[in-house]
Amino acid sequence: MPTIALAPPPPTERPTSPVSSQTLARLDVAGPRYTSYPTADRFVEAFGPADYADAARQRRLGMSAGRAPLSLYVHIPFCASLCYYCACNKIITRHAERAREYLQYLGKEIALQVEQIGARAPVSQLHLGGGTPTFLDDQGLSELMRMLREAFTLAPDGEYAIEIDPRTVDAKRLAHLSRLGFNRLSFGVQDFEPEVQRAVHRIQPAQQVFDLMAAARAQHFLSVNCDLIYGLPRQTLDSFDRTLARICTLRPDRVALYAYAHLPERFKPQRRIATEELPGAATRIEMLSRSIAALTAAGYVYIGMDHFALPTDSLAIAKRQGRLHRNFQGYSTHPDCDLVALGVSAIGKLGGTYSQNAKSLEDYYDDLDQGRLPIARGLALTRDDVLRRSVIMAIMCQGYVDFESVGIAHLIDFKAYFAAEMAGLEPMETGGLVHITERDLTVTDTGWFFVRAVAMVFDRYLQSDRKRARFSRII
């Protein structure tokens, strides 16, 4: 098996970032990530299984939509140990039997979904998230894929991804994932520095990740992503430079670079993090600036938001060709499609609706024992929601809005309908983030680094509700 050597120290002369620290600081505001519009905090409990059944019925009645490929998301909530920074819906346990019970209930939910969607519906995209999907052992993962393949028709050229905690797999397990049909992996790295790892209770030696990357390449996975987080306790500019240098040597196909959002009042595990050990705002901004410089100098293309990809990766190709899309898992090369969500707390999209499953395992199991889908809340989109979603996703994915095309598609006069929003964009145009003509809006190269801020201008809910503390900051 090929090996990958650990990175040398970063060079004394650092590459220059395409966006200044001053600009980053000026636009460091809180806002949604827009994996959907409206965002999940707008979901209501009045939306339930009956509303979902209506949306499924509409899908079946539409001949083309009824056989259009689906996307599947499966949430595996279990983790063997607690990472203090985590804001995901998870259950900490070392009892493997809990996963076996969970699989049985996933089987019940899959059967109920088939009743709504229809048998053998085509699927072009599958994503296993968590928690830790690889908490399931090889037998459990095999059982899950068997259930999915029996219920749905997985396209041979589909995109099948799984999130991986490097501490839970080895080369043999990666080979098993490949045999099951997974072709994309995402390794949760976060930071390579032992001191930072101790502060967040996630110890994983760098060499372990490097060995897994070598094993993944030997198995010919189509794409491997690595997640990084900046702003963690005990991180310094020099320490994160070392992590970046190692990532550039590791050279994953994609890098997701997230800002740590410290919200201990919302996420109990974060209360174990010492606030005084967190880097200050100026340091975080400089970390981001250096990260952008290091990754772009290493040949990565900035996709948008927190995502970078090598020029040969399908995500970078989709951006060049204007085919980028966005869903609850982030940027995607696949066209917007209905998303069937399976598992506790999972969020799905069907037609003009969003839905979320029960957040507690007890409620999730109880609903399924009663023979009903475990949908706890959701939203039926209004005409204005659909219009604004199209504009926001065009900004987030293509960085371009053609006023006439949107007007024709939604039967509006764009500039009249969005008069207040166009006025709100004037400071961004002056600041060089967008370019506006009589016919269109274009996000500039600099503006791409703040695309969330541009999209926020068109968010009707956000403009009427200035209490944004529930969102992470853009930087």
pLDDT tens profile 316-347: 999 999 888 888 888 888 777 899 999 999 99
Nearest-5° Cα angle at 260, 18 to 15: 25
pLDDT for residue 240 = 97
What the block records as the tokens of 266 is: 């919302």
pLDDT for residue 174 = 98
More confident residue, 219 or 462: 219
Distances (CA, A) of 366 to 249, 269, 340, 371, 375: 48, 26, 20, 9, 11
Distances (CA, A) of 392 to 222, 336, 396, 443: 29, 14, 6, 12
Residue linked to tokens 């590791």 = 250
* Chain segment 242-270, per-residue pLDDT in tens: 999 999 999 999 999 999 989 899 899 99
Q: Which residues contact 24 (CB under 8 A, 6 or more apart)?
A: 285, 288, 289, 449, 475
Beta bridge partners of 256: 227, 307
Region of poorest pLDDT, from 15-19, 151-155, 380-384: 15-19
How far is residue 73's CA from residue 174's CA, in Å, rounded to a whole number? 20
Confidence of residue 17 (pLDDT cuts 50, 70, 90): low
Rounded to two decimals, the pTM is 0.91
Reply yes or no on whether the pLDDT at 123 is more than 80.
Answer: yes
Determine the average pLDDT of the residues in 169-186.
Answer: 97
Confidence of residue 470 (pLDDT cuts 50, 70, 90): low
Give the length of the chain.
475
Fold classification of 383-464 (topology level): Arc Repressor Mutant, subunit A (1.10.10)
Reply yes or no on whether the pLDDT at 390 is more than 60.
Answer: yes
Confidence of residue 26 (pLDDT cuts 50, 70, 90): low
Reply yes or no on whether the pLDDT at 400 is more than 70.
Answer: yes
Reply yes or no on whether the pLDDT at 63 is more than 90.
Answer: no
Reply yes or no on whether the pLDDT at 293 is more than 70.
Answer: yes
Bridging pattern class, strands 301-304 and 307-309: antiparallel
Query: Taking a C-beta distance cutoff of 8 angstroms, is the pair 228, 53 a contact?
Result: no
Query: Taking a C-beta distance cutoff of 8 angstroms, is the pair 80, 94 a contact?
Result: yes
Determine the average pLDDT of the residues in 373-385.
Answer: 97
Q: Which residues contact 178 (CB under 8 A, 6 or more apart)?
A: 219, 220, 221
pLDDT for residue 71 = 94
Break the chain into its structural domains and give their ranges.
Answer: 21-339, 383-464
Q: Which residues contact 93 (CB under 8 A, 6 or more apart)?
A: 78, 79, 80
Q: Report the percentage of the chain scoring pLDDT > 70.
A: 91
What is the dihedral angle through the alpha carbons of 173, 344, 348, 322, rounded to the nearest 10 degrees?
Answer: -40
pLDDT for residue 314 = 93
pLDDT for residue 472 = 60
* Chain segment 199-243, per-residue pLDDT in tens: 999 999 999 999 999 999 999 999 999 999 999 999 999 999 999
Region of poorest pLDDT, from 305-309, 435-439, 469-473: 469-473
CATH architecture of 21-339: Alpha-Beta Horseshoe (3.80)
* Chain segment 423-452, per-residue pLDDT in tens: 999 999 999 999 999 999 999 988 988 899
Q: Which residues contact 135 (CB under 8 A, 6 or more apart)?
A: 76, 78, 79, 80, 99, 168
The number of helices, as runs of H, and strands, as runs of E, in the chain is: 19, 19
Determine the average pLDDT of the residues in 30-54.
Answer: 92
Reply yes or no on whether the pLDDT at 65 is more than 70.
Answer: no
Reply yes or no on whether the pLDDT at 61 is more than 90.
Answer: no
* Chain segment 362-377, per-residue pLDDT in tens: 999 999 999 999 999 9
